[in-house]
Each structure stands twice: as C-alpha cells, then as structure tokens.
Amino acid sequence: MKQNLFDNPDFFRDFQHNRLSGESENDLIEQPALRSCLPPLKGLKVLDLGCGGGQFARYCMDQGALAVTGVDLSKNMLEYAHTHNDLAGITYIHGALEDIELPTNYYDLIVSSLVMDYVRDYESVVKKITQALSDRGYFVYSTLHPHITARKLVEGWVRDEKGNKHYWPLDNYLEDGRREMYLVKDQKATFYHRSMSTAVNTLIKAGLMLHEIIEPTCTPEGLLRQPHQISEIRRPTFLILKTQKVYLTKE
C-alpha cells in the first residue's frame, strides 16, 4: 500500500498553505533550478510524475509544450490541479507512478519534482521511465539531497545554546532504505533514502546519460525575502539530476 500523505486533510492543508504561499522552498530554491536545466519546451510531449497541483504542467504549456500528462496519487492534489491548472493540452491521471502503464518510446521529457523520495522501488521506476522516453528524451528529477535523508529519523540542524544553526549532522549515509521525517509540523512521513551513487548509477544502468547535477541554493530575490535561506550554502536541501536517453537499453 502506497503512502498517500496528501489525502490526509490536515497534511494537505498544511502542505498547501506553505506550497501556495509563494515563499516555499519549491518557489525559492527547487523550481528555479529545475526549470533552468530543462530543454526548450516548445512542441514537447511532457510527463509530470507526481504533478501535485499542476503548477508545473501549466508552466510547460505556457512555454509552448505540445501536451502534458500529469500523474498523481492524491485526489486532493488532482482536484486542485483540475480547478486551478486545467488548460487545453493537459491531462491529469490519478494513480501511483509505480503502477501506471506508460507508452513506450513516447515522451520527449519526463519530469518528477520532489516525488522520488516517496518511491521504494526506484530501480524499476527508472527502468519504466527510460522505456517511456523517446530516443534522446530527457528525464529530469528533483529530490531531497541524500545528506538530508540519510539519518534514520531525519531531524534538522544541531543548534548552539542561542538557537543558531551549528552544523548539519550526517549518519547512515551509505545505508539506503526507509526513513522517517516530520515533513509538516508534527506529521511524520516515510521516505526512501538513497546515496548519491545509488541515485546516479541506477540512472546510468537504465540507459540514461547524466547531463547535469544541481545542488541549488536560494535565488537572490528569494534571499531578500527569506534571508534565513542563506544556510542553503552550508548544505543544500535539494538535488536535481538531468539525464537523457542516449541509446536503447538491452533487457
């Protein structure tokens, strides 16, 4: 049974409160970096795995994409997407990305923004994504940085007696697998940690060529509004991997 946090009404309310504030880490850190490394979107067939409220699907259409398919497990998220980001050319599908069937050799770009952390069987999902990409198609995804998810119970900074951020502790880094974290307030979520080598080598093994790794920091405009985000320079929250299907994989 897949964890479906976003259909828990309290979790959904708290998450959306932050996500739609315009001040979320998605807006200040993750999305600017992810969007900066995408190929030109004009005319592309795009698949957005874990599309949430459809903000990225709308962005793709605004940039001239031919069509976007958004997939998400959460009915709450899809309801928001249908209400606020329902443009001609966008199709939303309710389902888990582990379970949905995808056409072969079809999408020019597959994006997944902050969803792979919830996926237990990363390897089979990456294989499925690779098969669904057209030749030379791109797979770009963002995730929590592995040094964020490494500890068994993921907690924040170690602080000094005045409450200042002293250092970010790291442990259990090479032990891939299940983790727990307080994602919003006191609500615990399950994540799957994988080291940088697991994350990258799984992509390469599936037949994807690594183009770029981004460990993003806060945008300059974001820093003016949220100066505390300067600590991203000490240790980034996110990791973005840009890959391209370069040859047909053998089974």
Ligand X SMILES: C[S@@+](CC[C@H](N)C(=O)[O-])C[C@H]1O[C@@H](n2cnc3c(N)ncnc32)[C@H](O)[C@@H]1O
Q: Which two tokens stand for residue 131?
A: 């098969």
Query: Rounded to whole angstroms, how far apart are CA atoms 87 and 84?
Result: 9
Q: Which stretch binds ligand X (CB under 6 A): 84-92, 108-116, 166-174, 198-206?
A: 108-116
Radius of gyration of the chain (CA): 18
188 scored as a contact of ligand X (CB under 6 A)? no
User: Among 28, 60, 65, 97, which residue interacts with ligand X (rule: CB under 6 A)?
Assistant: 97
244 scored as a contact of ligand X (CB under 6 A)? no
End-to-end CA distance of the chain: 28
Query: Rounded to whole angstroms, how far apart are CA atoms 129 and 118?
Result: 16
Q: Which is nearer to ligand X, 67 or 115 (CB)?
A: 115
Rule CB under 6 A: which of 20-79 touch ligand X? 26, 50-53, 55-56, 71-74, 77
96 scored as a contact of ligand X (CB under 6 A)? yes
How many residues touch ligand X under the rule CB under 6 A: the total is 23
80 scored as a contact of ligand X (CB under 6 A)? no
Q: Which is nearer to ligand X, 2 or 136 (CB)?
A: 2
Q: Which two tokens stand for residue 34?
A: 């992810």
Rule CB under 6 A: which of 119-158 touch ligand X? 119
113 scored as a contact of ligand X (CB under 6 A)? yes
Helices and strands (H and E) in the chain: how many:
9, 12
Q: Which stretch binds ligand X (CB under 6 A): 39-47, 115-123, 145-153, 214-222?
A: 115-123
Q: Which is nearer to ligand X, 55 or 130 (CB)?
A: 55
Q: Which residues contact 108 (CB under 8 A, 6 or more apart)?
A: 39, 44, 45, 46, 133, 134, 137, 138
Q: Which two tokens stand for residue 102?
A: 């995808």
Query: Rounded to whole angstroms, how far apart are CA atoms 237 and 21?
Result: 19
User: Among 2, 152, 178, 188, which residue interacts with ligand X (rule: CB under 6 A)?
Assistant: 2
User: Among 23, 79, 98, 180, which residue interacts with ligand X (rule: CB under 6 A)?
Assistant: 98
Report the residue closest to ligand X, judged by CB: 52
Query: Rounded to whole angstroms, how far apart are CA atoms 185 and 207?
Result: 39
Q: What angle do CA 232, 238, 241 make, to 5 degrees?
A: 135
Question: If we measure between CA atoms, which residue out of 81, 134, 124 comes closest to residue 100?
Answer: 124
Q: For the chain, how many residues are written? A: 251
Q: Which is nearer to ligand X, 41 or 97 (CB)?
A: 97
Rule CB under 6 A: which of 195-234 touch ligand X? none
User: Among 6, 59, 139, 141, which residue interacts with ligand X (rule: CB under 6 A)?
Assistant: 6
Q: Which is nearer to ligand X, 120 or 165 (CB)?
A: 120
DSSP string covering 157-186 = -EE-TTS-EEE----STT--EEEEEEEETT
Q: Where on the chain is the footprint of ligand X (CB under 6 A)? A: 2, 6, 19, 26, 50-53, 55-56, 71-74, 77, 96-98, 113-115, 118-119
